[in-house]
Structure formats: C-alpha cells, structure tokens
C-alpha cells in the first residue's frame, strides 16, 4: 500500500493522504512512512494492509476522515488543493512550500462535496493507557491464549455442561476474559 | 536534643538556631508572641497552616522551622536537599515526587530524571530524625537503599518506593537487614530487578513490628509463600498485605496466621482448570471453599478473579469497605451480582467492564461510596471485554443521585451528555476530585460540546480541588474553557485534554483559576505563545506540563514566560523505532512536551539528552 503525501502552506498546512486499497499497482508491500507536517507535530499512521479506501484531511489542527473514497475522487481533491501551490507534483516525497495559503473557501467547498459522513478522530496525541493496566491487559490476553488457543471457535461443551475453558459461565467464548 | 529544648534556648538568647539575631522586633511584645508560638505551633500539622504561621514574625518562622516534622516536595527539582535541611533540620517525614505524572502512562523517557541519590545523601548527612520516606516516580538505586539503611535504618519506620525504578532485590536486602523498626514497606508498581526472594526471608526473620507490606503490581515472583506466613505469624500488628501474583491456594497458611489483617490485594487464581468430570469440579470448588479470609478483612482485591471464582468473596462481601476489581476478570453481570452484596463499600476500583448496569447497582446498593474509580478496560475491537461493558451518561447520573457521599470520582466514558454533568453538580456536593475521560471508541457522542454541563458541575461542586477533563476536538468550545477558568475557585490541580478551540479559550481560562497550582494539558490546539502567556496569568501556578500543542520546534515562542526561578524544560518530539505485528519497522512519533516549574534550586544538571533546558534564571 502506497501513501502519497502533498504538503502545502507552512502556516496552515494541509496534508492530503491517499490510501489505495491493497491491490494497488504501485506497490505490493506495506511501507511505514513519516508524514512531515511543519508547525504541528509529526505522526505516523500504520494500520495494516486491510484498510478501506480512506481519505484523511489534516487542517488547522482538526482531522477529518472520509471512508470509501475512490482513487479518482482523491486525485481530484489533491489536484484542487494543489492549484496555486508552485510545486504540486503528487510525488511520493512530502513537499513543503512556504508560499501559498490555499483559499479556505475552496477547502470548505471540497469538504461539502464529499458525500460520506466525516468521522472525527483525535489528532496526533493518542489516548494512552495507564502502564499498570496496559500490562494487566497484556497478561490477560496471554492467559486467554494459553487457556483457549483456538478461542475464535466455539468451545465444545463437556459432559457436565461446562465448556472446556473451565471457569466460564457458559457464555460465548468471545465474552470469556480467559 | 529535643526541639522543645532548642526553642527554650532560642528564647533565652534571642537567636535563632542558626545564630541569626532576632533583633529588636522580638522585644517586649515578642516574648508573648513567642510563648504563644511555642505552645501552639508544634500542634499545627497542616502544611498550609504552618506556612501561614511562619509568615507572622521571625520568631514564629523559627519555631515552625525547628518543629516542622513533615514536608511534601511536589517536584524534587523545586528545591535542593541542602536548602531543605537548612530550612527544616528536624524533619521526620519526607515525601518526594520525581517524574511528571504522565510517566504513569509511559509518556516520559525512563531516564528523564528524579534521582533520589542527592536526597538520600543529605538525609544521611543532616536529617538524623528522618523516619518516614515516600519516593514517588523516582529512580532509586541499590546504593541509595544501602546508604539509607545504614544511616537511618535504626529509626526508619516507613519506606515507600511508589512507582519507582532502578533498584534490585539486593537493595531490599539491605533494608530488610538493618531496618528493624520498619512498620511500612511499600514498593507498589515499582520496576525492579528481581534476583531472589532472600529479602523477604530476611524481613520475616528480623522484623516483628511490620504493619504494612506491599509489592502489588510488581513482577516479584521469587519470594516464598512460607515467608509470607512467617511474617504473619511473627507480626501481630500486620494490617495490610498487598502482593504480586501468588496463587491463593498457597496462601491458606498465611490467611490463617494473619489474624489482624484488614487489607489484602494481589494473590490470584491459577489458570482455569479444564474440567472433565465431577471429581475435577469438586476439586475446583474445594479450592475456593478452602480460602478463609481473616476475620477483620475489609479491603480486598484479587487478581484474575473470574466469574466462577467470585463466590470466594461472598462470605465477606457485606463487610467490605474497599474492593479492587481493576485486575479481576469479571463480566458486567458478575460485577452486578457481587456489588449487590457490598452494602458497606466506601472505595471501589474497577474497569469500564462494570458498565452502566454495574454503576446503577452501585447507586442502588452502595450508597456510602466515597471513592469511585472506573479505569479504561480493553476496548480494542478484537479484545472487547463485554458488550455491556461501557460507561455512559446513564451510569454517571445514577451514581450522582445514589451516592451523595462521593468525594472522588474518576471515570472513562464512551458517551456523555451535558445533563449528566449537571446531575453531578446538583447531587455530588462532597466531590473533591473529579476526572472524566471521553474514550475514542464511539464516533458520535450524544451531546457535545459540554460547555453547559461543565459549568453546572463546577458551580455545583464547590469543594472541588482536583479536576480532569479529557475530551476530543469539539468537546468543549472556547467559551466552555472560559467557564472552567471562571468557576474553578478552589481547584489546585487540573488536567485538560482536547478542550477549547483556540488560544482565545486558553487566555480566557487563564484569567481565572485563582488557586490553580499544577496544570497539565494534552492535545489542545494552543500555540506556544498563548501557553506562555497563560502561564504568567495564572497567579498560583507553580507547575505546568503540556504535550500536543502547536510547537515551534525549539520553544522560542515560550519566551513570554521566562522569568526568575521558573525552570523551563522541553522534551522535543521524539521518534521510537519499533516493529509492528507484521514485522515492519514503524516509526512512532512522541509529540513534544513542555515542563515548567518554580524552583529555588536553579536549572537541574542531571537531565538526559532527550531533555532541553530553556530560559534563564
């Protein structure tokens, strides 16, 4: 999966990121990239290969995500945003210009054009967990794996009406914490 | 010599302990003031009151200085050990905090700082009466423990290594050998190098006054259950034992011997047995019924407590005052069943798997609850604990109405409304500490922004001193942020995450909060310049931590807050190279931090390469 990055004005930077579905003609392997964003903090998204065609727009510190964007639509957005920036090339390498502020009105217009519902997600500072709880939840996973390594399948119920996972209350395996 | 003698000596020759002439100000009326001071001040324990008394006159300053027994240094770099020993030479109890609080969330580099070494050296040199120490989020080495044990070991009664790191069981061995008067030995959630279980054996052999032993949420695994039982037998005052994951079946002897025990946490149940037949089921039941808790036990937490093992708690459920389910493996239904029985509960800690239904149960049956902490459970899509296991406005409103004695409420919610916050403002009049985190799990939140609700909560809960609000973009407008500033008359600590919209909100906020001493902010869209200006406008601010802001890269826009005695540290954006589950190298970016604090000790010299110091004194 390839990611193309186009980075415009340094004052209110917009980064348009395009995710093409896994059968892309550009690449067959997953590549982790750093997205370079002047002024605001840098961050990386690496969610694995099976993502739907998703478009993420960073603008003025807020992030909007659109699902199910076709490559053509994405390209149209990139082209529209790139108009006015001297080096709009659509290359893979991030490009930083410090000249043009893309007209805000045009961006609003673009956002309205996209039909799918936007998903607000938090920005580059992900919610973190308390270390003690994070360790516990890891151990919990390990216990679940060792107690029931084939946990995705429904466990056979023994003679006494108790499932093979031992101390379950008879619920579905997915609800078993172990 | 006792401090009374020192005070009498001081009065006689009019000099302070360090020979400073008290001067004519302590003339004829000074005698009366001193007499009052001598009689009164030693009985005043509260630090704020002591501070006020010490400002009245030089004589009272001196009396306070000589008789002050206990000090908390909220950040170990705000004062040097020597400054502390000069000011309060007769301290008996000291609490020091090192790394920023966000270190508990793995956000601070391990080598950031917070070394106890210079403090332990000063304690050995100058604090001959020191008998209670509490180090929180600091780096403690074996050599520090050895020095401490040899210098103050004879009188040391309390040693608390709270979320510390850097030591090994060798260091604990020094303490166990030399500190015969130790009553409290705590290393909860510390990271240590475990070489063996010798230290616990030494402890069991040497100490008979132990009341409180705690190595909960550590990875300690080499101590012997027999040594725990030995401690229980030899220490009749043992009141609290919190341990790591040891099977309860191995602790039966311990429970039989610990007749004074009131608090137990840790222990665990072995991996669930595969039950093939009735004999194995009987064995499982036998294991549960064999666990007989000591008669006074009223504070309990069992690690990996599962739905089928829960009945082990039933016999004592109604006498429980504190229940820790943070590391249990119960589903929502089990939480409800258990909590119905806990009518006298005052403190409950659980994960969000408790669900709204569990909180409604608490509201119905546990009306005396004073402290309620609902932590974030497993909420990743592939690892959800229970479909019912989410907390929303429904649970909040139930708790507010059903638990009027609530003083501390920390909760991770999946959904929220203004009305639920207003409910808390209306009913939770005793609330002193409120923390709300809105999880990212649900896309659409019923009711945002939360401006009205936050205002209602702050105006209603006038005893609030600690406040955390962690939302998402759109969660609180600039106006709402202004409300927080305006209506936070008593709040001393605040954590704000993803609140406000722009610098305007921050500047309006900073015109209020008259008592705010410590401010943490994360993910807010404020510029460096606005942060710096806000810091100067908050009149009581002495500590500021920010991560996730509009950084300039080198902190140059922070110049408005450069001022004497204000240390400014930056942890610039860092990159961690880790490998994801596919084996691909991933670069994880850690956004920059600002840490700023008042200090009498000047900029510190022990910072690692990842930290940059700014500004000048």
Instruction: Return the closest-CA partner of residue A55 out of A122, A5, A12, A97.
Output: A5
Put simply, the answer to whether A158 touches B276 (Cβ < 8 Å) is yes
d(CA B489, CA B463): 9
User: How many Cβ atoms sit within 10 Å of the Cβ of residue A103?
Assistant: 11
User: How many Cβ atoms sit within 10 Å of the Cβ of residue B597?
Assistant: 20
d(CA B498, CA B308): 41
On the CB side of A10, CA atoms within 13 Å amount to 9
Mean pLDDT along residues B518-541: 95
State whether residue A23 is helix, strand or coil. Answer: coil
Put simply, the answer to whether A48 touches B573 (Cβ < 8 Å) is no
Distance from CA of B329 to the nearest CA of A (A): 6
**Is A63 at the interface with chain B, CB within 8 A?**
yes
* Both structure tokens of B90: 């007769």
Q: What is the pLDDT of residues A5-42, one digit of tens each?
A: 333 333 443 333 433 333 333 333 433 333 333 333 33
d(CA A175, CA B386): 6
Which long-range CB contacts under 8 A does B70-74 form with residues at least 24 apart?
B70/B45, B70/B94, B70/B132, B71/B47, B71/B95, B72/B47, B72/B97, B73/B97, B74/B518, B74/B542, B74/B543
Q: Which residue of A has its CA nearest to B591?
A: A41
**Is A105 at the interface with chain B, CB within 8 A?**
no
Put simply, the answer to whether A123 touches B473 (Cβ < 8 Å) is yes
pLDDT band at A87; cut points 50, 70, 90: very low
Mean pLDDT along residues B371-378: 95
Put simply, the answer to whether A167 touches B306 (Cβ < 8 Å) is yes
State the burial class of residue B206 (Cβ atoms within 10 Å of its Cβ: 0-12, 13-18, 19+): middle
Mean pLDDT along residues B555-577: 88
DSSP codes of every residue in B444-476: S-SS---HHHHHHHHHH-TT--EEEEE--TTSS
- End-to-end C-alpha distance for chain B, whole angstroms: 39
On the CB side of B342, CA atoms within 13 Å amount to 31
pLDDT band at B589; cut points 50, 70, 90: confident
SS3 content of chain A, % helix, strand, coil (to 5): 25, 15, 60
Q: What is the pLDDT of residues B26-77, one digit of tens each?
A: 444 567 778 888 888 888 888 889 989 899 999 899 999 999 999 999 999 9
DSSP B310: G
Which residues in chain B have their CB less than 8 angstroms from residue A177's CB?
306, 329-331, 385
Distance from CA of B498 to the nearest CA of A (A): 8
Which residues in chain B have their CB less than 8 angstroms from residue A37's CB?
none
State the burial class of residue B468 (Cβ atoms within 10 Å of its Cβ: 0-12, 13-18, 19+): middle
pLDDT band at A53; cut points 50, 70, 90: low
pLDDT of residue B273: 58
Between A41, A147, A164, which is nearest B271 by CB? Answer: A147
Angle, CA of B280, B282 and B284, to the nearest 5° = 70
Q: Select from B99, B312, B378 the residue whose CB has the most chain A CBs within 10 Å, as the one to mutate to test that interface.
A: B378
pLDDT of residue B469: 98
pLDDT of residue B29: 56
Residue bearing the bigger pLDDT, B453 or A106: B453
d(CA B211, CA B392): 40
d(CA B507, CA B518): 17
C-alpha pair distances (Å), A21 with each of A25, A67, A69, A91: 10, 12, 10, 18
d(CA B2, CA B90): 9
Contact at 8 Å (CB) between A18 and A74?
yes
Instruction: Return the closest-CA partner of residue A18 out of A79, A62, A106.
Output: A79
Q: What is the pLDDT of residues B67-123, one digit of tens each?
A: 999 999 999 999 999 999 999 999 999 999 999 999 999 999 999 999 999 999 999
Contact at 8 Å (CB) between B550 and A61?
yes
**Is A132 at the interface with chain B, CB within 8 A?**
yes
Put simply, the answer to whether B272 touches A178 (Cβ < 8 Å) is yes
Instruction: Return the closest-CA partner of residue A49 out of A90, A3, A118.
Output: A3
Between A128, A164, A169, which is nearest B308 by CB? Answer: A169
d(CA B374, CA B434): 12
Q: Which residue of B has its CA nearest to A32?
A: B586
Top-ranked range on mean pLDDT: pick from B369-378, B545-554, B555-564: B369-378
Query: Residue B5 is inside which H or E element, if any?
Result: helix B3-13
| ipTM field | 0.88
Between A43, A46, A174, which is nearest B580 by CB? Answer: A46
Those residues whose C-beta lies under 8 Å from the C-beta of residue B387, and which sit 6 or more positions away, are A175
**Is A143 at the interface with chain B, CB within 8 A?**
yes
Over chain B, what is the mean pLDDT? 91
Ordered strands of the A3-7 beta sheet: A3-7, A14-19, A55-59, A62-66, A119-120
DSSP B186: E
Q: Select from A147, A167, A169, A178 the residue whose CB has the most chain B CBs within 10 Å, as the one to mutate to test that interface.
A: A167
pLDDT of residue B537: 97
Distance from CA of A113 to the nearest CA of B (A): 21
User: How many Cβ atoms sit within 10 Å of the Cβ of residue A23?
Assistant: 7
Between B273, B334, B588, which is nearest A166 by CB? Answer: B273
Put simply, the answer to whether A128 touches B473 (Cβ < 8 Å) is no
* Both structure tokens of B49: 């009151």
Between B106, B498, B585, which is nearest A32 by CB? Answer: B585
Put simply, the answer to whether A177 touches B281 (Cβ < 8 Å) is no
Dihedral over Cα of B52, B53, B57, B59: its sign:
negative
* Both structure tokens of A144: 């679940």
Mean pLDDT along residues A58-73: 68
Between B275, B327, B584, which is nearest A162 by CB? Answer: B275
Weakest mean pLDDT among A46-50, A124-128, B347-351: A46-50
Put simply, the answer to whether A167 touches B550 (Cβ < 8 Å) is no
pLDDT of residue B517: 97
Q: Select from B474, B527, B545, B548 the residue whose CB has the most chain A CBs within 10 Å, as the one to mutate to test that interface.
A: B548
Which residues in chain A have their CB less than 8 angstroms from residue B522's CB?
125
């Amino acid at each position: 999966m390839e990611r193309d990055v186009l980075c415009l004005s340094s004052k209110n930077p917009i980064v348009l990121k395009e995710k093409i579905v896994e059968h892309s003609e550009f690449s067959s392997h997953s590549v982790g990239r750093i997205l370079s964003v002047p002024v605001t903090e840098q961050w990386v998204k690496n969610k694995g290969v099976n993502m739907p065609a998703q478009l993420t727009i960073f603008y003025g510190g807020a992030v909007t995500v659109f699902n199910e964007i076709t490559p053509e639509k994405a390209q149209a957005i990139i082209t529209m945003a790139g108009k006015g920036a001297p080096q709009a090339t659509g290359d893979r390498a991030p490009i930083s210009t410090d000249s043009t502020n893309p007209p805000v009105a045009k961006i609003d217009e673009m956002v309205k054009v996209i039909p799918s519902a936007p998903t607000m997600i938090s920005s580059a500072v992900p919610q973190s967990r308390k270390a003690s709880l994070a360790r516990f939840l890891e151990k919990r996973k390990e216990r679940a794996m060792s107690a029931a390594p084939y946990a995705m399948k429904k466990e056979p119920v023994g003679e006494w009406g108790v499932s093979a996972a031992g101390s379950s209350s008879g619920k579905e395996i997915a609800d078993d914490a172990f | 010599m006792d401090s009374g003698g020192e005070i009498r000596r001081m009065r006689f020759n009019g000099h302070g302990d360090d020979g400073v002439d008290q001067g004519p100000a302590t003339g004829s009326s000074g005698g009366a003031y001193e007499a009052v001071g001598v009689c009164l001040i030693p009985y005043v324990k509260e630090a704020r009151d002591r501070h006020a008394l010490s400002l009245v006159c030089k004589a009272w300053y001196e009396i306070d200085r000589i008789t002050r027994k206990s000090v908390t240094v909220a950040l170990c770099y705000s004062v040097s050990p020597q400054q502390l020993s000069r000011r309060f030479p007769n301290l008996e109890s000291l609490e020091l905090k090192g790394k920023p609080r966000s270190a508990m969330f793995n956000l601070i580099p391990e080598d950031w700082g917070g070394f106890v070494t210079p403090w332990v050296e000063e304690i050995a040199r100058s604090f001959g009466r020191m008998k209670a120490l509490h180090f929180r989020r600091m780096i403690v080495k074996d050599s520090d423990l050895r020095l401490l044990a040899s210098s103050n070991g004879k009188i040391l009664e309390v040693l608390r290594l709270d979320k510390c790191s850097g030591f090994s069981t060798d260091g604990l061995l020094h303490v166990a050998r030399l500190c015969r008067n130790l009553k409290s030995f705590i290393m909860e959630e510390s990271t240590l190098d475990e070489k063996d279980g010798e230290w616990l054996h030494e402890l069991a052999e040497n100490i008979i006054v132990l009341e409180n032993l705690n190595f909960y949420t550590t990875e300690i695994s080499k101590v012997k259950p027999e040594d725990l039982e030995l401690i229980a037998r030899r220490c009749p005052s043992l009141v609290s034992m919190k341990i790591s994951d040891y099977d309860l079946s191995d602790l039966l002897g311990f429970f039989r011997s610990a007749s004074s025990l009131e608090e137990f946490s840790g222990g665990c149940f072995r991996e669930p047995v595969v039950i093939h037949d009735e004999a194995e089921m009987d064995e499982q039941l036998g294991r549960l019924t064999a666990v007989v808790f000591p008669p006074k036990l009223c504070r309990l937490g069992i690690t990996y407590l599962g739905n089928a093992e829960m009945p082990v708690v039933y016999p004592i459920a109604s006498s429980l005052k504190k229940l820790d389910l943070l590391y249990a493996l119960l589903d929502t239904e089990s939480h409800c069943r258990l909590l119905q029985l806990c009518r006298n509960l005052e403190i409950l800690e659980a994960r969000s798997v408790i669900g709204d239904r569990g909180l409604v149960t608490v509201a119905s049956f546990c009306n005396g609850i004073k402290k309620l902490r609902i932590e974030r459970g497993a909420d990743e899509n592939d690892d959800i604990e229970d479909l019912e296991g989410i907390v929303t406005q429904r649970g909040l409103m139930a708790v507010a109405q059903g638990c009027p004695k609530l003083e501390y409420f920390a909760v991770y919610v999946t959904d929220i409304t203004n009305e639920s916050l207003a409910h808390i403002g209306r009913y939770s009049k005793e609330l002193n500490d409120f923390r709300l985190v809105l999880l990212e799990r649900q896309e659409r939140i019923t009711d945002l922004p939360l401006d009205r609700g936050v205002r209602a909560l702050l105006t209603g809960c006038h005893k609030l001193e600690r406040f955390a609000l962690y939302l998402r973009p759109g969660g609180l407008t600039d106006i709402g942020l202004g409300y927080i500033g305006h209506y936070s008359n008593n709040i001393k600590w605040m954590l704000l995450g993803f609140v406000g919209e722009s610098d305007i909100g921050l500047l309006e906020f900073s015109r209020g909060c008259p008592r705010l001493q410590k401010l943490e902010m994360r993910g807010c869209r404020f510029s460096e310049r606005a942060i710096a200006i806000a810091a100067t406008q908050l009149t009581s601010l002495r500590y500021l931590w920010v991560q996730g802001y509009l950084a300039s890269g080198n902190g140059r826009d922070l110049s408005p807050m450069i001022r004497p005695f204000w240390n400014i540290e930056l942890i610039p954006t860092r990159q961690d190279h880790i490998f994801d589950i596919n084996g691909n190298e991933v670069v994880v970016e850690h956004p920059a931090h600002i840490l700023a604090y008042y200090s009498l000790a000047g900029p510190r010299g022990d910072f690692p390469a990842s930290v940059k110091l700014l500004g000048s004194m």
